Amino acid sequence: MAISKNPHLWCCEADVVQLDSFVLEKILPKTGLLYPLAEISLMALVVDRVRPSHIFEWGTNIGSSAKIFHHITESLGMDIPIHTWDLPEDVPHGQHPGENHARLAKGLARVHFHRDDGLRGALAQYQIEKAKDPKIRPLFFVDGDHFYKSVIREITGLISVQDEFHLLAHDTFVQKPDAKGQSRESWVGCPTALQLSAQDYRWLNVGFGNPGMAYLWGKGKSSAHSSWQQKWLTGMDRLEIRLEKTLYKLMQKLRGN
């Protein structure tokens, strides 16, 4: 079954009939709607298109994304490891899973659980695997902390060490700033991170509502921007996010909401 139609790096195109049948018949019966349908479809398309040798993802939380990746790779006949990170028990975070950590993905043999900062852990594991096989072809899924600062740190951190990169980023739905401001920060941060760290790139955002998911891919390892340019670009984003939130609150007041 060929879900991805066009192998060219810059063309991400699905055979939509194949993709829909694959997700409906092979994945949903095993995962249900752990993620919205559009996002599960994007995960399936990207896994088939990239054919990764490894999947590195964070944060694990209850294990939904790890479970979805497990079933997608299994159904595509791909016997590859899925490494997943969440913060250690004693590091506080608003979405920390506590005792529910990895609940849905426990017992899946190809899923390996780690407790560390996702970027630090994934880069270390990537280097270990790369030393074993220089032809490693990883797919990264970034779903940890979605504040602007983290998005820039994590996405640029991944792109700057790879010649060709393929990333999925979660919580990228475009929305009004008061609904859940941090998701908007992902949407603003992704293109800036790409601009800062990639030589050439594309991105595809899907989702009819929260959380939303984006596929970011292209050629990495660029150092085209000076630290002054980086500060300027990220400073403008921060200003945009702040002004937008303030303006939105003001408009709400003026409208009497």
Residue type, 29: P
* Nearest distance from C-beta of residue 187 to ligand SAM, angstroms: 15
Q: Does 212 bind ligand SAM (CB under 6 A)?
A: no
Q: Does 185 bind ligand SAM (CB under 6 A)?
A: no
Q: Where in 19-78 is the site for ligand SAM (CB under 6 A)?
A: 58-59, 61-65
Q: Does 87 bind ligand SAM (CB under 6 A)?
A: yes
CB-wise, 121 or 177, nearer to ligand SAM?
121
Side-chain-side CA neighbours of residue 189 (13 Å): 25
| Total residues interacting with ligand SAM, rule: CB under 6 A | 19
Q: Does 97 bind ligand SAM (CB under 6 A)?
A: yes
Q: Judged by CB under 6 A, which of 52, 138, 144, 218 binds ligand SAM?
A: 144
Q: Judged by CB under 6 A, which of 11, 21, 25, 93 binds ligand SAM?
A: 93
Q: Does 148 bind ligand SAM (CB under 6 A)?
A: no
Q: Does 117 bind ligand SAM (CB under 6 A)?
A: yes
Contact window for ligand SAM (CB under 6 A) among 84-92, 201-209, 221-229, 239-247 = 84-92
- Measured distance CA(99)–CA(97) in Å, rounded: 6
Strand pairing class (82-86; 111-115): parallel
CB-wise, 65 or 222, nearer to ligand SAM?
65
CB-wise, 82 or 159, nearer to ligand SAM?
82
Contact window for ligand SAM (CB under 6 A) among 70-78, 142-150, 175-183, 236-244 = 142-150
C-alpha distance across the termini of the chain, in Å: 51
- Measured distance CA(73)–CA(75) in Å, rounded: 5
CB-wise, 68 or 218, nearer to ligand SAM?
68
* Nearest distance from C-beta of residue 128 to ligand SAM, angstroms: 18
3-state SS of the chain?
CCCECCCCCCCCCECHHHHHHHHHHHHHHHHCCCCCHHHHHHHHHHHHHHCCCEEEEECCCCCHHHHHHHHHHHHCCCCCCEEEEECCCCCCCCCCCHHHCCCCCCCCCCEEEEECCHHHHHHHHHHHHHHHCCCCCEEEEECCCCCHHHHHHHHHHHHCCCCEEEEEEECCCCCCCCCCHHHHHHHHHHHHHHHHHCCEEEEEEECCCCCCEEEEEEECCCCCCCHHHHHHHHHHHHHHHHHHHHHHHHHHHHHCC
CB-wise, 145 or 237, nearer to ligand SAM?
145
CB-wise, 62 or 136, nearer to ligand SAM?
62
* Nearest distance from C-beta of residue 168 to ligand SAM, angstroms: 10
Q: Which residues bind ligand SAM (CB under 6 A)?
A: 58-59, 61-65, 85-87, 93, 95-97, 117-118, 143-145
